Chains A and B, each alone.
Chain A
Amino acid sequence: FGKQVTLDDFFTIN
């Protein structure tokens, strides 16, 4: 089921 990624991998949030 793969590896947990973070929201930072999808967009720059400040």
Chain B
Amino acid sequence: MFKAVISEAKEFKKIIDAASNLLDEICFEVSEDGIKARAMDPSHVALVSMDIPKEAFEEYEADVHDIGIDLEAFKKIMNRAKAKDKLILELDEEKNKLNVIFKGTARRKFALALYDVSSSNLQVPDIEYPNEILIKAGAFVDALKDADLVNDHVALKVDDGKFIIYAKGDLNESETIFEEDSEDIISMNIGENARSTFNLEYLKDMTKAASSDDILKICIGTDMPVKIEYDIGGANLTFLLAPRIES
């Protein structure tokens, strides 16, 4: 069996939004400890990992199940959540559906068809990074918006103790520099200068679910995948994005 009650449907919607920007389908691996899911996008450029411990739920009861979901359909249903709705997720094993129930002034139920998506058994690779930056999501997203004006990819750099978001187009350039004492920076753990270039659209998708005051943990090296990690409503979201590399 699987039944989970989430006090704020809107918080869970953010998690589904973040995943559905990058993935078509996902397998939720539910167990008595909580829900986890790991998947790569079809092009293998990005990896999404989510961990929602049972403590993040108002009520939680589950055996071990793999629940395969079409994320586009799930996202459309979650878009129907109202501000004060509770969310109940419930596996109907007989009908092979996931019941998605919004409980507000009325009880509204959707039965979502399950997909035969087997769990990937993916692990987030344990990479050692020379640099780790904790930054307010709003500040980072703003820097990405600046970069978006000049090109569709962006360099994330660590230079001389500063964290720099830099883009260069045919004609124009943009640069945002964060120093360690900036109000937007929570901490910078800098080991060495680094530079990696990334597709901007992916970075925007990965950070879309974060509110501006949420804290992003960004790990970067030179020509390495970037790791971006943040928490939403007690759930942990981790993303890896492969870089663009000079050939």
Number of interface residues of B (CB under 8 A): 27
Q: For chain B residues 59-117, which have a beta carbon within 8 Å of chain A?
A: none
**What CA separation (Å) do A7 and B241 show in the bound complex?**
7
**What CA separation (Å) do A11 and B242 show in the bound complex?**
11
Q: Could you show 6 A-B contacts with beta carbons less than 8 Å apart?
A: A2-B244, A2-B247, A3-B246, A5-B242, A6-B242, A14-B120
**What CA separation (Å) do A7 and B72 show in the bound complex?**
24
Residues A7 and B44 in contact in the complex (CB < 8 Å), given A1-B151, A2-B197: yes
**What CA separation (Å) do A5 and B151 show in the bound complex?**
18
B244 touches A3 (CB 8 A): yes
B122 touches A7 (CB 8 A): no
B246 touches A10 (CB 8 A): no
**What CA separation (Å) do A8 and B47 show in the bound complex?**
11
Shortest B48–chain A CB gap in Å is 11
Q: B244 touches which one: A4, A13, A14 (CB < 8 A)?
A: A4
Interface of B is mostly: loop
Q: Which residues of B contact A4 (CB under 8 A)?
A: 45, 199, 242, 244
Measured CB to CB, the residues of A under 8 A from B are 1-11, 13-14
Q: Which residues of A contact B151 (CB under 8 A)?
A: 1
A1 touches B153 (CB 8 A): yes
**What CA separation (Å) do A2 and B154 show in the bound complex?**
11
Q: Is B172 an interface residue (CB 8 A)?
A: no
A5 touches B244 (CB 8 A): yes
Q: Is B182 an interface residue (CB 8 A)?
A: no
B121 touches A14 (CB 8 A): yes
B240 touches A7 (CB 8 A): yes
Q: Which of A1, A2, A5, A11 has the most CB of B within 10 A?
A: A1
Shortest A11–chain B CB gap in Å is 4
Q: Which residues of B contact A3 (CB under 8 A)?
A: 244-247
Q: Which residues of A contact B245 (CB under 8 A)?
A: 2-3, 5
